[in-house]
């Protein structure tokens, strides 16, 4: 049983007051302020909503699927009337003029959104250290990162500060922090969830998804936020399954799972490799069959991903110029105002990616870099299509290591980028992917295992993840 669904049913039964539960969670956030998971809370707004939901329950009115639950959203999702900074100085003073589509859907189902969580600036990072608010801290070890860029959301869920949280995933930014913090993180297929109201990083890669304590929890969240949206041309009109109900159904057959050999080579922590080998042995006892898969183009995935991501970031972030909204530097003329605003408003990592993106889009290098990366992306997608013709899902590590120490990789961008080596391909192909806890290291740090599925096969993916969860709990 999903903890979130159980809490919802307890609330409907009158077992607790939402106002009281809100107070308890706000107190817990303050008590765990050292985690730096939140950048702002909405105490007045959320209390008014809690009182309203409590009154509706008392009056016998119907309530939404998330009534009774405490939820957080990442600081790149618009919440009308509240600040939105994307953890960047350049959005200083900006307030969201409308709700993001996912926020509308959460509120429509009576979720109580208590605040916005810490993140890497404009979602560019793998540790939630590139932020004006200071780093998010891993709840399992105060000397370790929470992962990124959705580190605040993962830390909030793992520490029990919220029941569910939303993040965004451009190349692993939901799954990697979920793995580091010991939570479940789901990246839906591209187009499954509307991006309306998400501050864009790389538009062809970004996807909003949930982080929860269990597979059933994220299935419930996905049911709420998924679906078509006329305001987002990339949001698919494909029907949305009842994902929680699908988890309770008996699967038609035991899945065949592929193990890509390129994901189990040098660079993978032996403890993570051993944990996954042990999981596979236990799954075989459940009747799961495995097949080794060759995905040679995976070796080019990181380079391909970062070329496309920085190019799209360069284009998307051009709007932050000091003229229309946010931070504006004082200067004597327009050109210097542009230069000073962007120089002072953006952090080093964001400036680095904008410069790289502008370079690969420039007339002399467009064909050599950006166009070539898009061609390789197409080949990677075709390679995965061939793999999914042979197997139902792919099983891989989520990350090459467990959570690393604070500041350990800040001076080595390449090593930081390699934190996403196992996650970026799901974004490149537009598929769905999930990270599920898979034991701990000898230091007590969580290990994550990743399942990757074809586009719009979230039901199969969630069933496979639930099987992993049950298998691990049985031992």
Q: Catalytic site residue 314?
A: no
More confident residue, 196 or 254: 196
Which domains does the chain show, CATH number per domain?
Answer: 1-475 (3.90.1300.10)
Mean pLDDT of 158-183: 98
The rounded distance, in Å, linking the Cα atoms of 154 and 164 is 9
Position 438 scores a pLDDT of: 97
The rounded distance, in Å, linking the Cα atoms of 158 and 343 is 35
Residue 475 in this model has a pLDDT that exceeds 80: no
Catalytic entry in 46, 74, 150, 168:
74
Catalytic entry in 2, 173, 214, 435:
173
Tell me the pLDDT of the chain averaged across its residues. 96
Note the pLDDT tens digit of each residue in 335-387: 999 999 999 999 999 999 999 999 999 988 999 999 999 999 999 999 999 99
Residue 43 in this model has a pLDDT that exceeds 70: yes
Confidence of residue 415 (pLDDT cuts 50, 70, 90): confident
Catalytic entry in 2, 46, 149, 168:
149
Percentage of the chain lying above the pLDDT 90 cut = 94
Residue 1 in this model has a pLDDT that exceeds 70: no
Q: Catalytic site residue 173?
A: yes
Q: Catalytic site residue 298?
A: no
Note the pLDDT tens digit of each residue in 98-114: 999 999 999 999 999 99
């Amino acid at each position: 049983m999903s903890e979130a669904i159980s809490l919802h049913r307890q609330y409907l039964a009158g077992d607790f007051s939402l106002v009281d539960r809100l107070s308890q969670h706000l107190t817990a956030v303050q008590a765990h302020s050292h985690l730096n998971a939140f950048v702002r809370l909405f105490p007045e707004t959320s209390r008014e909503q809690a009182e309203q939901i409590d009154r509706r329950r008392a009056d016998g009115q119907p309530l939404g699927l998330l009534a009774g639950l405490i939820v957080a959203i990442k600081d790149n999702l618009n919440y009308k009337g509240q600040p939105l900074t994307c953890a960047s100085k350049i959005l200083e003073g900006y307030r969201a003029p409308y709700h993001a589509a996912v926020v509308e859907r959460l509120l429509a189902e009576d979720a109580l959104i208590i605040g916005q969580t810490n993140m890497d600036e404009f979602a560019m990072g793998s540790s939630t250290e590139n932020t004006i608010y200071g780093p998010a801290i891993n709840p399992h070890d105060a000397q370790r990162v929470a992962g990124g860029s959705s580190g605040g959301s993962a830390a909030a869920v793992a520490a029990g500060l919220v029941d569910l949280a939303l993040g965004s995933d451009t190349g692993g930014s939901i799954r990697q922090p979920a793995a580091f913090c010991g939570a479940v993180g789901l990246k839906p297929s591209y187009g499954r969830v509307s991006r309306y109201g998400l501050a864009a990083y790389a538009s062809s890669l970004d996807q909003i998804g949930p982080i929860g304590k269990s597979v059933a929890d994220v299935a419930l969240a996905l049911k709420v936020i998924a679906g078509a949206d006329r305001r987002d041309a990339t949001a698919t009109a494909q029907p949305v399954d009842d994902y929680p109900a699908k988890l309770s159904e008996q699967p038609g057959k035991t899945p065949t799972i592929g193990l890509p050999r390129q994901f189990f080579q040098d660079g993978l922590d032996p403890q993570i490799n051993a944990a996954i080998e042990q999981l596979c042995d236990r799954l075989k006892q459940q009747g799961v069959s495995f097949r080794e898969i060759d995905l040679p183009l995976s070796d080019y995935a990181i380079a391909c991903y970062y070329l496309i991501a920085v190019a799209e970031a360069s284009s998307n972030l051009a709007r932050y110029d000091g003229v229309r909204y946010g931070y504006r530097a004082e200067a004597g003329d327009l050109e210097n105002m542009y230069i000073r605003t962007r120089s002072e408003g953006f952090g080093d990592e964001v400036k680095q990616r904008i410069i790289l993106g502008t370079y690969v889009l420039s007339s002399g290098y467009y064909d050599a870099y950006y166009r070539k990366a898009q061609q390789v992306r197409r080949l990677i997608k075709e390679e995965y299509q061939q793999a999914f013709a042979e197997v139902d899902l792919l099983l891989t590590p989520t990350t090459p290591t467990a959570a690393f120490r604070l500041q350990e990789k800040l001076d080595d961008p390449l090593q930081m980028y390699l934190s996403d080596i196992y996650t970026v391909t799901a974004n490149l192909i537009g598929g769905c992917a999930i990270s599920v806890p898979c034991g701990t290291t000898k230091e007590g740090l969580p290990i994550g295992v990743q399942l990757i599925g074809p586009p719009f096969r979230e039901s199969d993916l969630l069933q496979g993840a639930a099987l992993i969860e049950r298998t691990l709990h049985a031992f």
